[in-house]
Amino acid sequence: MATLIAPLVVIALVIMRNMRARRLRIESLWLAPTLIIVAVGLQFSQEGTPTPLSLGVDIGAFVIGAVLGWWRARFTHITIDPATHQLTSRASPIGMLVVLALFALRYVLRVYAVQNAGSIGLPMNVVADGALVISVGLVCAQRLEIALRATRLLNEARDGVAPPSS
């Protein structure tokens, strides 16, 4: 239980930070996906040739992460100042619940996988890699969805169309 305290504190700080409206810079949305892809790529480069099983798990994990990332991004509120065209974003409570649910699910799956390593039929490194790949899909899809919506709002504002807040 003590090992949960630090991650819960970090999650609480992230939630409090994300509940405030923050300036959204479309040009910097690519940074987090790039960093996470590089980090996971470096991790995978140390493992050697993937097996068909691990590739299948990773592809499934990426799809699950991408769907969750897109879904979470759909709940992000993006607004634009009509005069300055400055974009702001604010995470919704539903989006924050997605993060908490993923944390809880990851914890439960990790405990289950450790206790039932022989019976699940997957090596532990495949399960761990799947968890990493879910985060890649989540971050990439979330940032892409936010970038697309923000760009659309910015273009509408520049064209003089009254954009709805999304």
Residue of higher predicted confidence among 101 and 38: 38
Over residues 6-34, mean pLDDT? 82
User: Which 3 state secondary structure label does DSSP give 77?
Assistant: strand
The pLDDT value given to residue 13: 78
pTM (global) more than 0.75: yes
The pLDDT value given to residue 8: 72
Decide if pLDDT at 123 tops 60.
Answer: yes
Domain ranges of the chain: 52-166
Phi then psi for residue 63, to 5 deg, are -60, -45
Q: Which long-range contacts (CB under 8 A, 24 or more apart) does 50-56 make?
A: 51/126, 53/122, 53/126, 54/125, 54/126, 54/129
